[in-house]
Amino acid sequence: MNLPEFAVKKPITILMIYLGLLLFGVVSLTKLPVELYPNVSFGEISIIIYVRGGVPPEEVEKLVTRQVEEGVSTVSHLEEILSISKEGESTVVLSFAPGTDMDFAALEVREKFARVKNKLPKEIEKPIIAQFKRSDVPILILAVTSQKKTTEDIRKIVDETIKERVERINGVANVEVGGGRERKILVEVDKNKLTAHSISLERVIQVLSLNNLNLLSGDYKEDENKYLVRIMGEFKDVSEMENIGVGISPSGSIIRLKDLARVEDSYLEPQSLSRMNVRPVVSLYIQKESKKNTIKVASDIKEEIDKLKEVLDKDIEMIITSDQANFIQKAVNNLQESLVKGAILVVLVLLLFLKNFKRAALLSFIAFIVVVMFAPTQMLYLVSAVVAVALILLKPFRSTLIVTVSIPISVIITFGFMKAMGLTINFMTLFGLALGVGMLVDNSIVVFENILKKKERGVEKTRAAIDGSSEVVLAIVASSLTNVIVFLPMVFLGEEIKLLYSGVAWTVTISHMVSLFVAVTVVTLLSSKREEKEEKIKWVSSLLVTYRKALVWALRKRYYLIGGSFALLVISFFALGNMGMEFLGATEQSKFTIFVELPTGAKLEISDNIVKKVESFLKEIPEVRTMSSRVEAWSSKIYVELEPLSKRKRSVGDVIESLRPKTDKIHPAFIYYEEEQEVGTKEIILDVFGYQYDTLREMAVSMATRLNEVKGLTDVKIRMREGRPEMGIEINKQTSALLDLNVSDVAMMVHAQMRGLRATLFHTEAQEVETIARLDEKYRQTFEDLHKLMLITQQGRKIYLDQVSEFKYGLGPSEVWRKDKMRMVQVSANLGRVPLSKMAATIKGKLKDLALPEGYYWRFGGNYPTMVEANKQIRQAIVLVLVLVYLVLSSLFESYTQPFIIMVAVPLAIIGTAFALFITKNSISMGVLIGMMMLSGIVVNNSILMIDHINQLRRRNLYWLRAIIIGCRDRLRPVLMTAITAILGLVPMALDRSEGANLWAPLAITVIGGLASSTFLTLLIVPGIYLLSEDIKLVRSNKKVKDFLAYFAALYTAFLSKLSIKKA
């Protein structure tokens, strides 16, 4: 008993099996997480270490960064180490291979770091180790504001309540606060009073630290009770701190802190400003862990915000000004909408092929199809419901229901397998389903068509269903295997590409295998219950007549057609070679970031004034929805969100280009733009490696100058800050040694007086507030003040700083970048609309004569190396796919030659792909290459149907020419139905112009173009090649021809022999 027969004879068993699978699929759908891309980004762990004492960048690099790099460089699956050393701060970012278990990696990093921690300076703060990259764009920006409270009051609420609550959320890696002033207890010491009482600032700091403690001192027993003994010494308020004794006067009286200093519960000088639509706010910039789901983390943050609104004052407003999850959700919703549209179009087109319509009804039906293409989301689901009810209730349409039932069954069951395999709903898996929607009916169409033909010949309905299904099992198994086997070479691709596109592979594979079983079981079972015969569709009958005439003409002109197709193929390869390549293509995300860079050392007020000018330009742009400004002294950012794409005519790039002429005139700022990308970047990046800071800078400047001359590049920049003006203090070691001072002692005393040191933590009910002790501002304003800073020796002797040091003015690096443990500078630029491969070739030519010192070199970073490697791997995979398809077809057809005839469809698809990409002005991306790889298995389906049927007719002793004509004519309708449904399933995606559509549109266009050209040409070229193969067989079997060829070969051999004798 074969499978079709089992399905017909065991209907209840089949029903229960599918009901169970459908239930599993529906439940799984509600639990599948949603994201834009599969999470293929390099997992990243940042180690951030702050160093007290104002240590310069080069010293941070030497004392901290290099030690950490050496310690963690042996962590498993580590791909890259990037470090940035700044004044008093070291950041080391570890990038891991895609697919790495980041929780385990974090544990290993902590373990390795613990081994080197003792080698680091004692002045370091507690290190921060978290799974994120500090330079990543925040997934969510939260603005906190109030009509009544000052920004300082708001900042206090944010620091004490909101920030802590948000940081606790699973998946949140880092929360930075901008705007307002940070609350501190400031101890502003009078320098003259310190000198008069012979007390050093270090003594003040020490007293504050040692008198602000609660200590457990032991326990004692009394009767049956045991009591803990605690020393309660923490400051309860600022007045208690003011009255603490810091010394004894010569007269024996206590010198209190308030006698020497002004103690205030106050705020530090503003380090940053924050505005939302030019309104001052306090903002939280929230970053997620690199491998966490953006939508899930953002949803949890929003839930926490709602809870905070219930406990905070009603006057406090919390406004989300930027939310990455919104774009992702919109993009996925748009893709789901395209999927639904595609499914409706498939069903409607099947009705056109399976049912007769009068002319008026036919025109109305076609109009209805057009309406579906442009219907809004709300209307789509209503249309879906109407179509489903019509198919079930209207008897004439039930035959269409038999074929289309494979779509919902296959898709829903696929969701169950996706959940079991840990897949998510994302662009890749939804594209696989969208591709499947048009192809899931292919097997059902072939089975149903053949069963109808059996019934037409008078076979009893049950026997017709079993025999009709069994007869085409070979063909549909072959086509399904070729569709699925194209993804087998993915195991040889790089991890990043494999993870990125495995969703397409699995959804197409699963849905196809399910649809194969549905066709053989459900379609067979439903067909066995109905008496209907094949309905003659008038327009299809007319098409058959036209096609027969065209086919006869094509067979006569087969050599011309084959030659013409070959010429088109050569032109197509030439066109594809000139299109240029990119990695994944850019996404339209309705947002961009403006960077405002000022010379190192610029004041916050200057930066603020320039940002305000940029904000004034933004206010004039009607497409701008919100702007969130983060103003800092040297480097500021403005996060700009535009209206949705449906409400504006200009793209993000167009808006940026309208702004650029205005911002380019603002001096001395360097203002550039970046469009946010979910994966990769729109920049081309050059990494310059070497040893000396000055040499690297010269090389970077020279390269940037040349890049500025390249047409198409914008925002050329060097990601290395210019040196900051500095006053170098060189300690005279001999003089200081005589005074029992060392360099560390001097450095700490200078830092304490100029910037201040944390003396202790003042504990409030809500938080810990730092107590900063420093000289009063009036004693630290000029270079003269610096010269006359007071140092206290171990013996209590007072001397001035200039007595033990020399002062030198100069420039010092403000940042030191390193990559893979070598000093590095990045030069980058925005690509605009130029493909990455073309721009890289142009840059190579521009820099080929650049003189580089020995030991210095540059290479492309960013997307380019990944693109080159992925391109190489996918091309190899395409070749392997073709080999696998040949092996499958050879085994199924028991022939060495017929698979070559069938696979002629593959080069025919390249013609359509090249044409489609050319007219839509798309370059070749990884998605396009994956589409070509998929086409290698998809386009042979039509050839399989035709060649298999021709073979069947020839086995019935039909003359081979007649078999070709009848076989192709009989398979015209299923060929057109399968091809058109597959194309229409993708048309909504190809035409989509919403946010994120440029991620999937090129992939859809590739498949549509290839499938369209291959189907059209296959109907004419493949029969011609089949006939050509018969011509060759005829020539080889004809004895006279054989004798003539042998005679000609003998003459040619003799001629060559005589020629060689003459030469000798």
Q: Which tokens belong to 879? A: 């070749």
pTM given for the model: 0.75
Cα separation of the two ends of the chain: 75
Contact between 623 and 655 (Cβ < 8 Å): yes
3 state SS of 85:
strand
d(CA 195, CA 792) in angstroms, rounded, equals 10
Q: Does 1-31+405-534 match 44-130 in CATH topology?
A: no
**Contacts (Cβ under 8 Å, ≥6 apart) of 326:** none
Considering the chain, what is the average pLDDT of its residues?
Answer: 80
Q: CB under 8 Å, gap of 24 or more: what pairs does 950-956 form?
A: 950/1026, 951/893, 951/898, 952/471
Q: Indicate the pLDDT class of residue 137, thresholds 50, 70 and 90.
A: confident
d(CA 140, CA 850) in angstroms, rounded, equals 43
Owner of token pair 């077809």:
889
Owner of token pair 């209307």:
379
Q: Indicate the pLDDT class of residue 1064, thresholds 50, 70 and 90.
A: very low
d(CA 561, CA 1019) in angstroms, rounded, equals 12
3 state SS of 262:
strand
Alpha helices in 495-603 (DSSP H): 495-518, 524-527, 538-556, 558-577
d(CA 902, CA 478) in angstroms, rounded, equals 12
Return the C-alpha torsion angle 564, 566, 567, 572, nearest 10. Answer: 130
The count of other CB atoms within 10 Å of the CB of residue 146 is 18
3 state SS of 537:
coil
Range name among 86-95, 523-532, 895-904 with the lowest pLDDT average: 523-532
Q: Is the pLDDT of residue 457 over 80?
A: no
d(CA 138, CA 550) in angstroms, rounded, equals 61
Q: Which tokens belong to 814? A: 């403000």
Range name among 29-33, 122-126, 141-145, 961-965 with the lowest pLDDT average: 122-126
Owner of token pair 């978290």:
130
Topology annotation, domain 1-31+405-534? Multidrug efflux transporter AcrB transmembrane fold (1.20.1640)
Which one of 145-154, 296-305, 569-578, 647-656 scores highest in mean pLDDT? 296-305
Range name among 577-581, 609-613, 647-651 with the lowest pLDDT average: 577-581
Q: Indicate the pLDDT class of residue 600, thresholds 50, 70 and 90.
A: confident
What percentage of the chain reaches a pLDDT higher than 90? Answer: 4
Pairing assessment for the beta strands 254-256 and 724-731 based on DSSP bridges: unpaired
What per-residue confidence (pLDDT) applies to 488?
77
Q: Is the pLDDT of residue 525 over 60?
A: yes
Q: Which tokens belong to 311? A: 């406990």
Average pLDDT over residues 278-306: 87
d(CA 1007, CA 1014) in angstroms, rounded, equals 10
**Contacts (Cβ under 8 Å, ≥6 apart) of 613:** 666
- For the chain, the residue count is 1064
Q: Is the pLDDT of residue 1011 over 60?
A: yes
What per-residue confidence (pLDDT) applies to 613?
92
Helix (H) or strand (E) holding 443: helix 427-456
Question: Of 69, 53, 72, 73, which is closest to residue 61 (Cα–Cα)?
Answer: 69
Contact between 865 and 685 (Cβ < 8 Å): no
d(CA 21, CA 14) in angstroms, rounded, equals 11
d(CA 615, CA 275) in angstroms, rounded, equals 10
d(CA 988, CA 1007) in angstroms, rounded, equals 13
Alpha helices in 421-537 (DSSP H): 427-456, 461-471, 473-485, 495-518, 524-527
In the 3-class helix/strand/coil scheme, how is 304-335 assigned residue by residue?
A: HHHHHHHHCCCCEEEEEEEEHHHHHHHHHHHH
d(CA 1015, CA 369) in angstroms, rounded, equals 22
Q: Is the pLDDT of residue 537 over 50?
A: yes
Reported in sequence order, the residue ranges of 813-856 that DSSP labels E, i.e. its strands, are 815-819, 822-830
d(CA 298, CA 34) in angstroms, rounded, equals 12
What per-residue confidence (pLDDT) applies to 384?
64
Contact between 175 and 208 (Cβ < 8 Å): no
d(CA 158, CA 312) in angstroms, rounded, equals 11
Q: Is the pLDDT of residue 905 over 80?
A: yes
Contact between 40 and 98 (Cβ < 8 Å): yes
What per-residue confidence (pLDDT) applies to 617?
92
d(CA 841, CA 682) in angstroms, rounded, equals 16
Residue 281: exposure state from Cβ atoms within 10 A (0-12, 13-18, ≥19): buried
Residues paired with 634 in a beta bridge: none
Range name among 75-84, 567-576, 935-944 with the lowest pLDDT average: 935-944
What per-residue confidence (pLDDT) applies to 534?
55
Helix (H) or strand (E) holding 734: helix 733-738
What per-residue confidence (pLDDT) applies to 689?
92
Task: Domain 536-587+862-1036: give its CATH architecture.
Answer: Up-down Bundle (1.20)
**Contacts (Cβ under 8 Å, ≥6 apart) of 561:** 554, 1020, 1021, 1024
Q: Indicate the pLDDT class of residue 1061, thresholds 50, 70 and 90.
A: very low
**Contacts (Cβ under 8 Å, ≥6 apart) of 583:** 680, 836, 863, 864, 866, 867, 870, 925, 926
- DSSP summary character for residue 34: B
Q: Which tokens belong to 146? A: 């109030």
Computed from CA positions of residues 501, 502, 505, 507, in that sequence, does the dihedral angle turn out positive or negative? negative
Question: Of 201, 86, 193, which is closest to residue 758 (Cα–Cα)?
Answer: 201
Whether omega for the bond prior to residue 668 falls within 30 degrees of 0, making it cis, is yes
3 state SS of 133:
coil
Average pLDDT over residues 568-583: 83
Bigger pLDDT: 431 or 525? 525
Task: Domain 44-130: give its CATH architecture.
Answer: 2-Layer Sandwich (3.30)
DSSP 159-226: IIIIHHHHHTSTTEEEEEEESS--EEEEEEE-HHHHHHTT--HHHHHHHHHHTS-EEEEEEEEETTEE
Q: Is the pLDDT of residue 239 over 80?
A: yes
Computed from CA positions of residues 224, 229, 234, 237, in that sequence, does the dihedral angle turn out positive or negative? positive
CATH top-level class of 183-267+725-812: alpha beta
Q: Is the pLDDT of residue 1063 over 50?
A: no
Q: Indicate the pLDDT class of residue 233, thresholds 50, 70 and 90.
A: confident
Residue 647: exposure state from Cβ atoms within 10 A (0-12, 13-18, ≥19): exposed
Q: Is the pLDDT of residue 1057 over 60?
A: no
- Residue 483 φ/ψ, nearest 5 degrees: -65, -35
Q: Indicate the pLDDT class of residue 300, thresholds 50, 70 and 90.
A: very high
Question: Of 366, 365, 334, 436, which is closest to residue 991 (Cα–Cα)?
Answer: 334
Pairing assessment for the beta strands 183-189 and 768-775 based on DSSP bridges: parallel
Average pLDDT over residues 977-985: 81
Contact between 328 and 678 (Cβ < 8 Å): yes
CA angle 289, 290, 293 (to 5 degrees): 80
Q: Which tokens belong to 181? A: 């002033």
Percent helix, strand and coil across the chain, each to the nearest 5: 55, 20, 25
In the 3-class helix/strand/coil scheme, how is 50-81 assigned residue by residue?
A: EECCCCCHHHHHHHHHHHHHHHHCCCCCEEEE
In the 3-class helix/strand/coil scheme, how is 687-719 assigned residue by residue?
A: EEEECCHHHHHHHHHHHHHHHCCCCCCEEEEEC
What digits encode the pLDDT tens for the residues 684-716? 889 999 888 888 888 888 888 888 888 888 888
Q: Is the pLDDT of residue 1038 over 70?
A: no
What per-residue confidence (pLDDT) applies to 143?
92
Question: Of 443, 449, 463, 470, which is closest to residue 528 (Cα–Cα)?
Answer: 463
The residue ranges of every structural domain in the chain are 1-31+405-534, 44-130, 183-267+725-812, 536-587+862-1036
**Contacts (Cβ under 8 Å, ≥6 apart) of 529:** 461
d(CA 993, CA 990) in angstroms, rounded, equals 8
